[in-house]
Amino acid sequence: MTTVSSHERKRLHPHKFTMWVALASIVMMFAGLTSAYIVKKANAKWLEFELPDVFWYSTIVILLSSLTVHLSVRSFKAREMARYRVLIGITAALGVMFVVLQWIGFQQIEAGGVPLFGFDSNPSASFIGIIGGLHGLHVLGGVVALVYIFLRAYIGAKKVYSSTGLEIAATYWHFVDGLWVYLFIFFKWL
């Protein structure tokens, strides 16, 4: 077994790799939705409206959270557990804050007389509601994963010293961050 495992150690961890494939899969879902958006935009009765400014704030918040999750991985690896605890807490809080800001953004769109759903809605607004909502769900999934990994490091009979799980969650976190930047540019300027 020694020869085999030393041979395998050089490769990417299977779970990390699985996450990369999963990300490709999520990319395809949003690619499907955004291309549907482009197709639909070319059809008649497309409503143009401005995105509220609060989406700028949410973008800044999620970019910040990417920074904090990156730093938290570094502190975990350096075994600076106090710093790690603070940083991961901030990241999770920023994640929740992002979703709240998105929610406020959707409310502001509706308040501006553009309903997202319902019979008087226009697909241009519904798309933002659905794509933004799905993205928000993915961010919340990331928050759950971070909290789980955080708790796992402290609660339970055995402590986890491997940073693999955290690194996988961080990869995911950077991904949903990048995904939002793409979606924001897409909605704002396309």
Partner 1 sequence: MSNEAVLHSHDVHSHDDHHGHHHHESFISKYVFSQDHKMIAKQFLITGMVWAILGGLMSVLFRFQLGYPDAEFTWMKDLLGKWVNDKGQITAESYYSLVTIHGTVLVFFVLTAGLSGTFANLLIPLQVGARDMASPFLNMLSYWFFLAASLVMLSSLFVETGPFSGGWTAYPPLSALASAQPGSGTGMDLWLIAMALFVVSSLLGGLNYIATILNMRTKGMSMTRMPLTIWALFFTAILGVLSFPVLLSGFILLIFDRNYGTSFYLSDIFITANNVGALPNEGGNAILYQHLFWFLGHPEVYIIILPAMGMVSEVLSVNSRKPIFGYMAMVGSLFAITILAFLVWAHHMFVTGLNPFLGAFFVLLTLLIAVPSAIKVFNWLTTIWRGSIRFTPAMLFAIGFVSLFISGGLTGIWLGNSALDIHLHDTYFVVAHFHIVMGVAGIFGMFCGIYHWYPKMYGRYLNNTLGYIHFWVTLAGAYLIFWPMHYSGLAGMPRRYYDYAQWESFKQFGDLNKFITIVAMIVFAVQLLFLFNFFYSIWKGRKVRSQNPWGATTLEWTTPINPGHGNWPGEIPEVHRWAYDYGKDGQEFIPQTTPVGSNETNHH
Residue from the set 28, 100, 144, 151 that interacts with partner 1 by CB under 8 A: 28
Residue from the set 75, 108, 121, 163 that interacts with partner 1 by CB under 8 A: 121
Residue from the set 49, 117, 148, 154 that interacts with partner 1 by CB under 8 A: 117
Q: Which residues of 107-129 are buried (b: 16+ CB within 10 A; e: fewer)?
A: eebbeeebebeeeeebbbbebbb
Residue 184 neighbours by CB under 8 Å, 6+ apart? 55, 59
- State yes or no: residue 148 binds partner 1 (CB under 8 A): no
Q: Is 30 or 56 the residue whose CB approaches partner 1 more closely? A: 30
- State yes or no: residue 41 binds partner 1 (CB under 8 A): no
Element (H, E) at 131: helix 123-152
Contact set with partner 1 (CB under 8 A): 1, 3-5, 7-9, 11-15, 17-18, 21-22, 24-26, 28-33, 36, 39-40, 43-46, 117-123, 126, 130, 134, 158, 164
